[in-house]
Amino acid sequence: SGRDQEAERRKSIEQVIAPFRNQISQISLSLFKGSALGVMFGEIQDDFHDIFLIGPLGSNTTEHIMPGRILPVVLQEMGIPVMVVPRVPQEFRSILICTGAGEPGKSDIRFGGRIAHRIGIPVDILHVQRQGTNGTEKKRVKKNLDKAKRMLQALQVETQTRVRTGEVFEEIVRETEEKSYDLIVIGAPFTKTGTPEFHPTSLIGRLLEKLKIPVIIVPMEE
């Protein structure tokens, strides 16, 4: 029956947000019917939200999200971070923030730091540099990473910085394989026309395809 289906959906969603309830008290759950994008626009326009969460959508997360344009629409039109949860962790114990150049004022670092401060868990800030990066660029990145570390430490967030060398996608995956993270935060790149750069072969598309842990995608400042 319709009532049984609604109860089953509510149960499934509660499983997704259970780790948040354990660590963040103020969470409410509402179920809506209708067009997904239409409901999302209406809900976000009617109220203020800090984050948009997409729960498990099947065996291939990228396949379900990309064609539906959910990620680009939420990030560009609604301007709030999106959290994709391919599987539900028991709890959040550590966060990896992936940053392009390590500037402490960037949205991804600020947002990841806020979450870590609220939940009370440590953060690693990762920057991946290309092979052959010159000394001047390495010094600039180190300076920015050190500033970001101090900023998060001022929020009483235990913070470490990490630099890897190689291809960005491969090094992020290796980092998650070598150290057990429960959450990844990464900034959303945009094209020159101002639209989100999302397709199955983009960096974020590949990460969503590969990683089996929650990923928060943060709209970046211009």
Please give the chain's pLDDT, 222 residues, in tens.
667 777 877 777 677 667 666 656 566 666 666 566 666 666 666 666 777 777 654 444 444 444 346 677 677 767 788 888 887 777 889 999 999 865 666 889 999 999 999 889 999 999 999 998 899 999 999 999 999 999 999 999 999 999 999 999 999 999 999 998 999 999 876 655 555 556 667 888 889 889 889 999 998 765
Q: Return the pLDDT at 66.
A: 45
Residue 35 has a pLDDT of 62
CB 155, CB 117: distance < 8 Å? yes
Q: For strand 159-165 and strand 82-84, is the pairing parallel, antiparallel, or unpaired?
A: unpaired
pLDDT at 147: 92
The number of C-alpha atoms within 13 Å of 61 and in the hemisphere containing its C-beta is 21
Q: Give the torsion sign (CA, 139, 140, 142, 147).
A: positive
What's the start-to-end Cα distance of the chain, in Å? 49
Residue 63's pLDDT is 44
Cβ burial, residue 178 (10 Å; 0-12/13-18/19+): exposed
Report the side by side order of strands in the sheet with 82-84: 52-54, 82-84, 215-219, 183-188, 95-98, 123-129, 159-165
According to DSSP, residue 76 is labeled: I
Full-model pTM: 0.77
Q: Where in the chain is the domain with CATH 3.40.50.620?
A: 95-208
pLDDT of residue 151: 92
pLDDT at 19: 64
CATH number of 95-208: 3.40.50.620
